[in-house]
Amino acid sequence: MEYRTLGRTGLKVSPLCLGAMMFGSFGNTDHDDSIRIIHAALDAGINFVDTADVYSFGESEEIVGKALAQTKRHRVVLATKVHGQMGQDPNAQGNSRRWIMAACDNSLRRLGVDYIDLYQIHRPSPETDIDETLGALTDLVRAGKIRYFGSSTFPAHEVVEAQWVAERRARERFVTEQPPYSVLVRAIEKDVLPTCQKYGMGVLSWSPLAGGWLSGAFGPGKENTSRRATFLPHHYDMEVPGNRAKLEAVIQLNELADAAGLSLIELALGFVLEHPGVTSPIIGPRTMEHLHSQLPALELRLSPDVLDRIDAIVPPGTDLNDTDVGWVPAAIADASLRRRPR
């Protein structure tokens, strides 16, 4: 396996990152089985593991911690995230110094480790000064609790702002970005990926299988069995025009994968792996079968002809369903911000 350099950090990471969102109450509730999946991924050469405090409200981090306790810590580049609501306290969320400091200690405890390799801000927080966030993260680096930090699902202009603030205020900077990216969700090709390349940021992209749409489970006569459909139903509602467009694309992509002698999963992962701005797409298996279906992508290269045919099905820079992007800025979500006061 050819390991990739994570941005300009010098860290070598596997072409696939193991995501732990499906370990715990969100997905696989069997801790021992989840740990076996983690170990199988490590044995296959994956050395990059990503989780978040909000995944199953801390349970995912606890499972990852149990798995790490049974292997050598230095084998794993460990990433987790902060931002989501963790309890009833209104201050137990967001990107403030107060919460980042407390949340980091909580994650270290749940993971059972002395340091986190990559600590990520899970979503932007418009009400929080980015300098406040960068200052807290810089202090965590200097305290030895984290080695690097990154952003997740930040729009391109906020990635740029964070880089400028870090330079002007003498802060450590975001070294990675974690955006959504798949054959069906391609808008970041227009701005986020070129911006990350410009600033030398590593990219660990999430949902390369588009929330299960590219897993082979969707198509005529197939029943949607995705766990995500229970808590993100709008991503699968066929009354939504964008979802109908996704289904039409999936049918064509299935035909393309068959003609190329690949599974749809391999086609989908191979597509994301091919972009020079992407370091490691994040896979999120819930079962051992899921993991084994995705591991072949570690050694996969798609031909230019196959990539051209994908572009013909879903044009570059296109999101087939705009709600699949993971975060909508307040200027779009709140109509009052687009109207003058009366």
194 Cβ contact partners less than 8 Å away, ≥ 6 residues apart: 156, 277
Residue 164: count of CB within 10 angstroms of its CB? 12
Angle of the 130-142 helix axis to the 97-111 helix axis, nearest 10: 40
CA distances (Å), origin 274, targets 144, 215, 234, 267? 34, 18, 29, 11
From 3, 55, 148, 236, active-site residue: 55
Has 55 been annotated as catalytic? yes
Residue tagged 């993100």 (tokens): 232
Distance of alpha carbon 214 from alpha carbon 228, whole angstroms = 13
Sign (positive or negative) of CA dihedral 322, 198, 12, 158: negative
Partnered with residue 79 across adjacent β-strands are 50, 118
Assign 3 to helix, strand or coil: coil
Partnered with residue 176 across adjacent β-strands are 202
Short-list 270, 266, 267, 286, CA closest to 278: 270
Let me know the angle formed at the C-alpha of 14 by 13 and 16, rounded to the nearest 5 degrees: 125
Assign 29 to helix, strand or coil: coil
> Are the beta carbons of 153 and 127 closer than 8 angstroms?
no
Kindly give the pairing relationship between strand 4-5 and strand 12-13.
antiparallel
Q: How many residues does the chain have?
A: 342
Radius of gyration (C-alpha) of the chain in whole angstroms: 19
Which residues have a catalytic role annotated? 55
